[in-house]
């Protein structure tokens, strides 16, 4: 039975990839106009929200978001979600309606066609290069100064044993403290069920509900870099507690 589910899941992955590629190719000329000039980034963001919403509808994935009332319009945040699936990015575009930027690994800028999203609008970082890390953090700081929120996965990448949390890196917490903006823990307990990062015909993959829990923003006013470990631990425990409540 498990193998049959994995085969069906593999066929569903092919179906998603087909529609992801087709929609991206159709919309690519418009993205070229919107995402290569920063004065059009907000238009590109709106198109991306519509695009990802259509993809999820076609794929049979529906998002439920808890606690949106915690977020204040016009407030810049550092969003810190757990990372368990490539769908996380798509789902976050359906979670937040206000413009934000992602920090992602440099490899994303090398993916043909898809890299349009990481040429200028979003931020890439080479985690093996301290210079690249500094440039990426400076760019994120600039975005916050503009009033834009930043999404940074504290785990940095999808852990091998996801959805179990991986070790948190310091970047998101340092950014929030340096800019004195709230950091928002985000728990996504079911994304790995929708698309688990294993082989084509292995791991969980199916349509269904993608749950997002927005936790209460944590103020960083008055914090210094000495508070990074405490803040890091607090966010980890909040997300981990929610995952445990979900039975993970």
pLDDT of 81-135, one tens digit each?
999 998 999 999 999 999 999 998 888 777 888 888 988 899 988 877 788 888 9
Domain ranges of the chain: 2-245
In the chain, the percentage of residues whose pLDDT exceeds 90 is 70
Nearest to 42 by CA among 97, 109, 85: 97
Whole-prediction pTM value? Answer: 0.94
Q: Which residues pair with 146 in a beta bridge?
A: none
Q: Lowest mean pLDDT: which of 1-10, 71-80, 179-188, 235-244?
A: 1-10
Fold of 2-245: Glycerol-3-phosphate (1)-acyltransferase (3.40.1130)
pLDDT score, position 236: 98
- Give 57's contacts (C-beta < 8 A, 6+ positions apart): none
Residue 51 scores a pLDDT above 80: yes
Q: Helices 171-179 and 228-245 sit at what angle, rounded to 10 degrees?
A: 120
Side-chain half-sphere of 178: how many Cα atoms within 13 Å? 15
Mean pLDDT of 218-241: 97
Q: Return the higher-pLDDT residue of 236 and 123.
A: 236
């Amino acid at each position: 039975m498990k193998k049959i589910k994995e085969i069906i899941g593999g066929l569903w992955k092919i179906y998603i990839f087909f529609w992801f590629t087709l929609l991206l190719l159709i919309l690519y000329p418009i993205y070229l106009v919107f995402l290569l000039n920063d004065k059009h980034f907000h238009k590109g963001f709106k198109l991306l929200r519509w695009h990802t919403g259509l993809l999820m509808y076609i794929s049979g994935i529906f998002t439920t978001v808890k606690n949106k009332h915690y977020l204040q319009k016009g407030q810049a945040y550092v969003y810190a979600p757990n990372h368990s699936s490539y769908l996380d990015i798509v789902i976050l575009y359906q979670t937040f309606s206000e413009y934000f930027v992602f920090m992602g690994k440099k490899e994303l800028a090398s993916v043909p066609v898809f890299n349009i999203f990481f040429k200028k609008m979003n931020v890439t970082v080479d985690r093996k290069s301290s210079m690249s890390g500094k440039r990426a953090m400076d760019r994120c700081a600039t975005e916050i100064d503009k009033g834009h929120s930043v999404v940074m996965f504290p785990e940095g990448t999808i852990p091998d044993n996801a959805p179990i949390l991986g070790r948190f890196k310091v970047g998101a917490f340092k950014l929030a403290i340096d800019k004195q903006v709230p950091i928002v823990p985000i728990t996504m307990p079911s994304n790995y069920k929708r698309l688990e990062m294993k082989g084509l015909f292995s791991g969980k993959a199916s349509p269904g509900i993608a749950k997002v829990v927005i936790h209460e923003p944590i103020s960083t006013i008055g914090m210094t870099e000495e508070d990074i470990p405490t803040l890091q631990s607090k966010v980890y425990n909040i997300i981990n507690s929610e995952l445990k409540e979900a039975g993970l």
